[in-house]
Structure 1
Amino acid sequence: MTSTTAETVPGAHMAAEIAAQPGVFRGLLAHRAEIAAVAAQIARRRPRFVLFAARGSSDHGALYAKYLTEVLLQLPAGLVSPSTTTLYGAQPDLTDVLWVSVSQSGGSPDLVEATESARKRGALTVAVTNTPDSPLNQVTELSVDIGAGKELAVAATKTYSATLLALYLLIDAVRGGTAEHAANIGDLADSALTLAEPAVAEAVQRYRFANRVVTTGRGYSSATAAEAALKLAETSYLSARAYSGADLLHGPVAAVDSETAVLAITSAGKGGAAMREVLEVVQGRGADICAVGSAADEVAAAFRIGVPATAEELSPVLEILPVQRLALGLALARGGDPDNPRGLNKVTKTR
């Protein structure tokens, strides 16, 4: 009889990588000066607007960065569609535009091609990746290493949250900030994982037989809602859809009923406050609401998972942690192995 290894224990890699995140955050902060140096070059170029290119979990990181850019930098920002370049051959003028490609692997051919094309068309290009020697890094002028270390589980956990923190540190430094709100993010992450553990375990039992889940949030937390839906779908094979709280009321709420589980991301701040009315409507439809975040106690919900409070613009870095634990627990409770979800690979290559 051979000893049991991480490779044979379902979810062992994902569990370890979730637990590693506080240390990853501390490591990123230790390298803030390198990120600030990249930010200084961006600030000198004075971009007129910012475009983010990404796929999968990284696309949710880009959505978060879009909010940061529009709110903290007061610059217009957008999410690009790489296929407009790779499939349709579009060649817009990108003079004085900042183009940020976000990719954990840096290996997706469409992102590489679109980024290389953007640079030729005048954009200042930046790669935010976990792979400093990736093809994406080789075609950009500047790069930020998220420093998460090798990730073995197929579902992104530490690379996702590290991407969020790296983007925050970059954008905060562009505006001349000193990242004071992130100074204790490692300790807060430790608390978020420890304090949420009993509630997550209870939530796993509560929702293990759910068939349909809606995830929702507003503002910065829209990115967390989108990532939550992806995590639940890819690890537990749940039918999960993400909506902003505003969009949920514009039609999709009609499909919410007593058979629907709603995962609501509600952290302290303007976004969380805007969710109160939304969740009152959803509760009136009979849905089972699980509120996650530092404002979970302030909204209508049947179940709550609290998260330590921080500046609103940093809340997605913390509020995703118990959601990852929930996805892991549900996958195992439903008989799956989140380290090896069916039909998925660590790097997805598209064009």
Structure 2
Amino acid sequence: MFAEAAEAADAVARQFAANAAVLDALAERLRADPPRFIVTCARGSSDHAATYGKYLFETTLGLVTASASPSVGSVYAIKPQMEGALFVVISQSGKSPDLLRNAEIAKAAGAHVVALVNVADSPLAELADTVVPLHAGPERSVAATKSYLCSLAALLQLTARWSGDEALLAAERGLPEALRQAWAQDWSAVVEGLKDARNLFVLARGLGLGAAQEAALKFKETSGLHAEAFSSAEVRHGPMAIVGPGFPVLAFAQDDDTGAGTAAVADEFRQRGAPVWLAAPGQDAGEGLLPLAAASHPAVTPLLTVQSFYKAVNALAVARGHNPDLPPHLNKVTETI
């Protein structure tokens, strides 16, 4: 896991170069014939990437983006109306039967199916109208790292090319180097603080919510630590009642209009006596503060946050006596029906 996460910057650079022509062609098609709406379909880490995609599409393109429930097509055999939609399927293996079935339904209903997939000759890739290979390379650790970051990077590159937003295009160009800087950040404080923890909240909002979801999953699967992800707004609607002395909180703040609210919630929990760590752009390491590499655009911040987090959670797993490469009871490829 450690070695593969460390390769993310090189994998993203490779992906950007290899996929530029494919995504330019797709972007031209989407500008000429804009979709009525966007639907994402994924599970696990890939679904956390889809959360990021939702916020990126909606804030940059203004297109309503919904997450498909795979069971609707694969178990309930319902065929939602998808005519005029862009259907984005995200998968490492491209083999999960329920994702394949939903992609088939979407394509038959008139959607344009785009597959973000790490296995370019997979069944999902064969089915899709447009294939966007992740180019993450072999990933042997059960816990996905570089393939997750490559999924986010592919969504970023697609949105930048589709929108033509100069700031986002510049962020795309600078992302590989920013990821290298993110890997160099020192998050050892959170490793030490969570060695004996049993429960944890991970908070973020907007573009950063998918990063919080991914972090919570990685705490569970690599470290045996029960963690739940919440929007820093949604946590106020009930869950915050259990936060107090001895209940740790990890918060990821964005460098956009959601950042101040996330920092305020983190500070409120700290005042209650909870151990709190806040990762926020533009701050140095300090008591309860985790350093983040500089981001040229808010859309890049979640990728840099996750890259620094991966290094820390790998160390945490080892410190807690777990093997982060081989979590118990899990397989690399999960083929949900």
State the TM bucket, normalised to the shorter chain: over 0.9
| Equivalent residue, structure 2, for 1:190 | 180
| Higher mean displacement: 335-344 or 277-286 | 277-286
Structure 1 counterpart of 2:260: 273
Match of 2:146 among 154, 158, 177: 158
Deviation at residue 229 of structure 1 after TM alignment: 0.2
Superposed displacement of residue 143, structure 1: 1.1
Which residues in structure 2 correspond to 1:253-264 (within 5 Å)?
253-264=240-251
**Displacement of 1:279 after TM fit?**
1.7
Residue 295 of structure 1: CA displacement? 4.6
**Equivalent AA in structure 1 for residue 172 of structure 2:** A
Q: Which shows bigger deviation, 313-322 or 217-226?
A: 313-322
Residue 56 of structure 2 aligns with an amino acid whose one-letter code is L
Q: Does 1:236 align with 2:226?
A: no
Report the alpha carbon displacement of residue 35 of structure 1 after superposing the two structures with TM: 2.0
Name the residue aligned to 2:191.
Answer: 204
Label 1:295 to 1:80 Cα distance change in 2 as closer, same or farther (>3 A): farther
Cα distance in 1, alignment partners of residues 271 and 58 from structure 2: 34
Residue deviations 1:8-50, cap 9 Å, x none? xxxxxx1111111111121122122322222222333310100
Which whole-Å CA distance do the structure 2 matches of 1:218 and 1:202 have between them? Answer: 23
- Partners of 1:279 and 1:301 within 8 A in 2: no
| Farther off after superposition, 215-224 or 169-178 | 169-178
Letter in structure 2 aligned against 1:271: T
> Aligned to 2:291, what secondary structure does the other structure show?
strand
1:319 to 302, 305, 310: 305
Picking from 275, 279, 288, the partner of 1:292 is 279
Aligned mate of 1:305, from 287, 291, 297: 291
> Is the CA contact 1:291–1:303 (under 8 Å) kept in the aligned structure 2?
yes
Deviations 1:198-244 (A, max 9, x none): x3233322221111111000110011000000011100010100000
Q: Distance in 1 between matches of 2:48 and 2:56?
A: 13
Q: Provide the residue aligned with 1:129 in structure 2.
A: 117
Measured after TM superposition, the shift of residue 326 of structure 1 is 1.4
Q: Aligned match of 1:67 in 31, 47, 55?
A: 55
1:45 to 13, 28, 33: 33
**What letter is aligned with 1:30?**
A
SS in 1 for 2:136: coil
Could you tell which deviates more after superposition, 19-28 or 145-154? 19-28
Please give the alpha-carbon distance, in whole angstroms, between the structure 1 residues aligned to 2:119 and 2:247.
39
The Cα shift of 1:139 comes to: 1.3
Structure 1 residue 273: Cα displacement: 2.2
Tell me the equivalent position of 1:22.
Answer: 9
Q: CA deviation at 1:301?
A: 6.6
Of 146, 159, 162, the match for 1:171? 159
Q: Provide the residue aligned with 2:203 in structure 1.
A: 216
Q: Relative to 1, partners in 2 of residues 1:272 and 1:297: Cα closer, same or farther, differing over 3 Å?
A: farther
User: Which amino acid in structure 2 is aligned with residue 233 of structure 1?
Assistant: K
Q: Distance in 1 between matches of 2:140 and 2:26?
A: 29
Q: How many residues align?
A: 334
Aligned position for 2:327 = 341
The RMSD of aligned alpha carbons is 1.6
Deviation at 1:282, TM superposition (A): 1.6
**In 2: Cα distance, 1:264 partner to 1:134 partner:** 37
Q: Secondary structure of the equivalent of 1:184?
A: helix
Distance 1:33 1:273, change over 3 A: farther
- Shift in Å, 1:193: 1.1
Contact 1:235 1:336 (8 Å CA) reproduced? yes
Instruction: Give the Å deviation of 1:317.
Output: 1.4
Is 2:83 aligned against 1:95? yes
Q: CA deviation at 1:187?
A: 1.2
1:107 equivalenced with 2:67 (yes/no): no
Alignment partners' CA distance in 2, 1:133 and 1:41: 23
Helix, strand or coil: the match of 1:102? strand
Give 3-state SS (helix, strand or coil) of 1:213's partner: strand
Candidates 8, 18, 21, aligned match of 1:33: 21
**2:160, 2:172 within 8 Å by CA — same for their partners in 1?**
no
TM-score after normalising by structure 2: 0.95
Mind listing any 5+ residue stretches in structure 1 that lack a counterpart? Answer: 1-13
Which runs of 5 or more structure 2 residues have no equivalent in the other structure?
Answer: none
